[in-house]
Amino acid sequence: MLTDQQLLRIPGPTPIPPSVQRAMSQPMIGHRAPETKDLLQRIKPKLKPIFGTAQDVVVMTGSGTAGLETAVVNAVKPDDEVLVIVTGSFGERFVNICEAYQINTHRYDSEWGKTVTPESVKEYLNKYPKVTAVFATFCETSTGVLNPIAELAEVVHNNSEALFIVDGVSCVGGVETKMDEWGIDLLVTGSQKAMMLPGGLTFVAASERAWNVIEENEHPRFYFDFKKYRNQLANNSTPFTPAGSLLFGLEQVLQLVEEEGLEQVFTRHTQMMQMTRAAFKALDIPLLTNDQAASPTVTAIKPFDFQVKDLRNVLYKEFGMVVAGGQQHMKDEIFRIGHMGYCSPADVLQTISVIELGLHKIGKQVELGKGTQAAQEIYLGY
Amino acid sequence: MLTDQQLLRIPGPTPIPPSVQRAMSQPMIGHRAPETKDLLQRIKPKLKPIFGTAQDVVVMTGSGTAGLETAVVNAVKPDDEVLVIVTGSFGERFVNICEAYQINTHRYDSEWGKTVTPESVKEYLNKYPKVTAVFATFCETSTGVLNPIAELAEVVHNNSEALFIVDGVSCVGGVETKMDEWGIDLLVTGSQKAMMLPGGLTFVAASERAWNVIEENEHPRFYFDFKKYRNQLANNSTPFTPAGSLLFGLEQVLQLVEEEGLEQVFTRHTQMMQMTRAAFKALDIPLLTNDQAASPTVTAIKPFDFQVKDLRNVLYKEFGMVVAGGQQHMKDEIFRIGHMGYCSPADVLQTISVIELGLHKIGKQVELGKGTQAAQEIYLGY
């Protein structure tokens, strides 16, 4: 086996493009130097179309969870009541953050692998008319579900005064996102998913409506004080020393997105999703989600006649390929393939053809090449 | 002028060693993969001698301020009274964080450029007998003062039950630190100073005494919940997706420290401080601090017969050399030279000889080579 190869096909962290690696290796510069101001000035306008917003997108140093907590402590006042739409373990994260701050938190749980309907969210809003914020997950990484954020935003705004706050960590950058048009009030993403970077940065933007709440909010906060970041970013700066090498990499990521074209980035992700789904359908191996609920960035597969562990082991040992298992109660029930960020249709074909071999090796009857062929046909249909 | 050269001589961010750059360019791996567990397991024991502790040193994703805030929200209960020793703008940072959380905060301000005495701290402790935590800055970056942390710890523990919490951001890794022996209860540092990395990581360790408080403390927190980090680190893991490339770099930094020998790292920093100070003394340009208060990592110079701005401009324009100005009321009054992390006696000689030329260029009468010679003599005396 070729030892120096790892085929990282989990839903983040994702592989890093070589030119981004090189950009991250630039010599360090002062965080208050004109070069850093210039860098932030160049980055700023290029993040906006990815979020689909006219607002500045703030770049913070931290894990995605730091961004989610920033949304909570800035937009929710200590005595507020909130509703969290939980479609998997990352919906749960919002619940955990809110509960850590003793916020009165209602939850609407959907079955894992299913999305939620605007009608049912409306029922919850009627049941809890005092909620000041509704939290949702755009792509639920634990199941590969893409929630209908535009529709959810509409039902929230038509039936309440609540802010609509979205965790976009595992899809923003790979999936069309129209923060302003849809009415998302706070949107968060991380660097290590569709943004093609290592972990360490989190991105947050807020609507005018959210800013009205943030400015009045006296919830104690310092590092997560969003106003500090906005005010500094207005001057192309950051309140605290940023993760310099990741900012260098970010500029190159935005360059790559510009070269490919943002629309084509989105199309590529949809194509990779369809290729992956077609392959498993052709192999008669069940997908966790239906086509309508599927995310362009991650696909969950729920086999009934082989052990997920066995497949993951053979993929790793024979090919250096890493796919993710499930989380919580789905730990050994599903496996998840990430197809986001620095990932191409060619990579998807490799993933599928290697998985076919892996299935064969663990003794599952598969017609070799059948899944690959189905994926190829999807590719040709584009 | 050679355009692709920047001589970064500010007190952080600092230059990155080439082997650390290369380490950071390794392909990404899964944050829950065995490779990440192995990496954290290898890193863990090597951080302890740098802190001088038998406790695990937690690695968090965030700026140094995130680490300082972690210390505050874990070690201070909402109704507590605290004392902050303020010797410059980073002492101020602790005040700002505590005040953001409405903590009853007393401050003991010393003149910028001076350190504090244990006797005066004792007076404050007598004046405020209810304080449960005393905050201090090890190296005050804004002035180049190294506070006498061992003595301060002693006076705090001999005169109160308070925890002693230390910001070591701009010196730990370059200056001998004996957290356990001295009695530091919480110690914080950042990645972009003596630790030879880009910004993005912060390191925090806590004493047994601090853990007793942290475990009982109900101060709301989620991302900064220190227990989560300790419990995950016990299993060689992290609660949230870490900054992967910086962890790769960290391992190589620890390797470099091991190769040089930690004692020699400390000696090198002291040597660089003495070389720098001897040079400005030889040139008759006043230093901000006296020898007893001087930090091995950063030196502040307070000229009386030339403009700091003029010197900084010519250094940058002619040589690509960046030295820092002052902060707050000392903005244009001092300039600060960082000599920490990836910085050698040879780099100090370059810095001094270039500054001599810069002084000449802005019309100050200097005997060229005189400062350099003084630094060389210090070097030869080692």
B1 domain residue, yes or no: no
A199 contacts B243? CB cut-off 8 A: yes
What is the reported pLDDT for B3? 77
From the list A28, A69, A241, the residue facing B15 with the nearest CB is A28
Judge if B295 and B175 occupy the same domain. Answer: no
Judge if A198 and A335 occupy the same domain. Answer: no
What is the reported pLDDT for B95? 98
- pLDDT, average across residues A139-156: 98
Judge if A229 and A306 occupy the same domain. Answer: no
CATH at residue A308: 3.90.1150.10
Judge if A31 and A144 occupy the same domain. Answer: yes
Pull the structure tokens for residue B273: 């401080």
A15 contacts B28? CB cut-off 8 A: yes
B94 domain residue, yes or no: yes
What is the reported pLDDT for B77? 93
CA atoms of A245 and B170, how far apart (whole Å): 19
Nearest chain B residue to A199, by CA: B243
List of chain B residues with pLDDT < 50? none
CA atoms of B169 and B243, how far apart (whole Å): 18
Residue keyed to tokens 């976009």: A168
For residue B225, the distance in angstroms to the closest alpha carbon of chain A comes to: 10
From the list A69, A102, A241, the residue facing B199 with the nearest CB is A241
Gyration radius of chain B over CA positions: 21
Nearest chain A residue to B70, by CA: A223
Q: Is the pLDDT of residue A134 over 80?
A: yes
Judge if B235 and B272 occupy the same domain. Answer: no
What is the reported pLDDT for A293? 97
Q: Number of folded domains in chain B?
A: 2
Please report residues of A whose CB lies closer than 8 A to that of B198: 28, 243-246
Please report residues of A whose CB lies closer than 8 A to that of B24: 24-25, 245
CA atoms of B182 and A10, how far apart (whole Å): 45
Please report residues of B whose CB lies closer than 8 A to that of A324: 30
A21 contacts B28? CB cut-off 8 A: no
Q: Which of A227, A258, A289 is the last residue of a domain?
A: A258
Find out whether B341 and B193 touch, Cβ atoms under 8 Å. Answer: yes
SS3 assignment, position A98: helix
Judge if A272 and A254 occupy the same domain. Answer: no
Q: Give the start-end residues of each E strand in chain B.
A: 7-8, 58-61, 81-86, 104-109, 131-137, 139-140, 145-146, 163-167, 186-190, 201-206, 298-301, 321-322, 335-338
Question: What ipTM is given for this predicted complex?
Answer: 0.91
Choose the mutation target among A76, A223, A342 for the interface with B, i.e. most B CBs under 10 Å.
Answer: A223
CA atoms of A19 and A217, how far apart (whole Å): 42
Judge if B80 and B190 occupy the same domain. Answer: yes
Judge if B145 and B100 occupy the same domain. Answer: yes
B359 domain residue, yes or no: yes
Question: Is residue A45 very low, low, confident or very high in pLDDT (cuts 50, 70, 90)?
Answer: very high
Please report residues of A whose CB lies closer than 8 A to that of B14: 28
A1 domain residue, yes or no: no
Judge if A97 and A34 occupy the same domain. Answer: yes
B341 domain residue, yes or no: yes
CA atoms of B323 and B339, how far apart (whole Å): 10
Q: Is the pLDDT of residue A2 over 90?
A: no
For A218-277, the pLDDT digits (tens) are 999 999 999 999 999 999 999 999 999 999 999 999 999 999 999 999 999 999 999 999
Question: Is residue A360 very low, low, confident or very high in pLDDT (cuts 50, 70, 90)?
Answer: very high
B97 domain residue, yes or no: yes
What is the reported pLDDT for B2? 79
Please report residues of B whose CB lies closer than 8 A to that of A24: 24-25, 245
A-B CB pairs within 8 A amount to 175
Judge if B246 and B309 occupy the same domain. Answer: no
Polymer length of chain A:
382
- pLDDT, average across residues A15-24: 96
Nearest chain B residue to A342, by CA: B28
Q: Which of B243, B258, B273 is the last residue of a domain?
A: B258
Q: Is the pLDDT of residue A3 over 90?
A: no
Choose the mutation target among A61, A84, A169, A225 for the interface with B, i.e. most B CBs under 10 Å.
Answer: A61
What is the reported pLDDT for B78? 85
CA atoms of A137 and A85, how far apart (whole Å): 7
Cis, peptide link before residue A242, omega less than 30° from 0: no
A2 domain residue, yes or no: no
Judge if B367 and B235 occupy the same domain. Answer: no
From the list A21, A100, A225, the residue facing B221 with the nearest CB is A100
- pLDDT, average across residues A97-113: 97
CATH at residue B124: 3.40.640.10
Judge if B213 and B238 occupy the same domain. Answer: yes
- Supply the range of the domain harboring residue A341: 7-14+261-380
A202 domain residue, yes or no: yes
Q: Which of A216, A233, A258 is the last residue of a domain?
A: A258
Please choose, from the candidates A175, A154, A167, A164, the residue with its C-alpha nearest in 3D space to the C-alpha of residue A202. Answer: A167
Choose the mutation target among A7, A241, A322, A347 for the interface with B, i.e. most B CBs under 10 Å.
Answer: A241
Q: Is the pLDDT of residue A1 over 80?
A: no
List beta partners, residue A167: A137, A188
